[in-house]
């Protein structure tokens, strides 16, 4: 299965955090196919905190969606992510954006990621690596990008 994962960090050397998480995504059950450039942006909703670094990667995996979520959460834990406050700063955040063309909605998982389509720091890097991708139910990335403000992310 092909899947796309969004990565974000705004603490403790964000570039190193994202690189480390990317390395952890390549294991015996997942293979990293491509990675976008890294993009810098202000925290969403003007929440105070350091700027974020974000990237998107494409993986090929034998893991089910829920096992992929477990892997992402293991990586977050291994990088000492602490969930202090909702929307707070974090060392690393891994979001499954797309899992093949599947639509998944349960207690732990919503795919396509419901916020992805509103976020330039997700759509811009995803477009860079997959300009023709379609979000199930939601449409082409080109159309989705036209609805949002792209000025608020800067490619490093
Ligand atoms: N803001 C930016 N710019 N990038 C993120 O990855 C990010 N992640 C979040 C919240 C706290 C919503 N804000 C963000 O989870």
> Other C-beta atoms within 10 Å of 46: how many?
7
121 CB within 6 A, ligand 1: yes
Residue nearest to atom 12 of ligand 1 (CA): 87
Cα gap 80→116, rounded to integer Å:
24
Instruction: Find the catalytic residue in 70, 83, 93, 119.
Output: 93
- Among 20, 83, 90, 119, which one carries the catalytic annotation? 90
pLDDT given for residue 82 in this prediction: 67
CA-nearest residue for atom 11, ligand 1, is 87
Predicted local confidence at residue 89, as pLDDT: 78
CA distance 88 to 48: 9
Q: How many residues does the chain have?
A: 156
Residue 86 has a pLDDT of 66
70 is known as an active-site residue: no
DSSP letters for 68-120:
HHHHHHHHHHHTT----STT---S-EEEEEEETT--EESSS-EES-TTGGG-H
Q: Which pLDDT score is estimated for 29?
A: 84
What pLDDT, on a 0 to 100 scale, did the predictor assign at position 83? 61
Active site residue 147: no
Cα–Cα distance list, 36 to 20, 47, 51, 144 (Å): 15, 25, 18, 18
The 8-class DSSP code of residue 12 comes to S
Query: Can you give the pLDDT at residue 45?
Result: 80
Is the beta carbon of 8 within 6 A of some atom in ligand 1?
A: yes
Fold of the domain spanning 2-155:
Alpha-Beta Plaits (3.30.70)
pTM of the predicted model over 0.85? yes
The residue extents of the domains of the chain are 2-155
Whole-number pLDDT of residue 46 = 78
Sites in the chain below the pLDDT cut of 50: none
């Amino acid at each position: 299965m092909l899947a796309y994962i969004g990565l974000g960090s705004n603490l403790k050397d964000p570039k190193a955090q994202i690189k480390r998480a990317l390395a952890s995504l390549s294991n015996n059950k997942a293979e990293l196919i491509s990675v976008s450039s890294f993009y810098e942006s202000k925290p969403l909703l003007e929440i105070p905190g350091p700027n974020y670094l974000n990237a998107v990667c494409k993986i090929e995996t034998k893991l089910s969606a829920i096992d992929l979520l477990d892997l992402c959460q293991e990586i977050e834990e291994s990088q000492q992510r602490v969930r202090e406050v909702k929307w707070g700063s974090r060392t690393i955040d891994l979001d499954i954006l797309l899992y093949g063309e599947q639509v998944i909605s349960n207690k732990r998982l919503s795919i396509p990621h419901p916020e992805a389509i509103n976020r330039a720091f997700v759509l811009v890097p995803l477009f860079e690596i997959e300009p023709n991708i379609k979000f199930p139910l939601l449409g082409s990335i080109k159309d989705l990008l036209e609805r949002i403000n792209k000025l608020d992310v800067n490619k490093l």
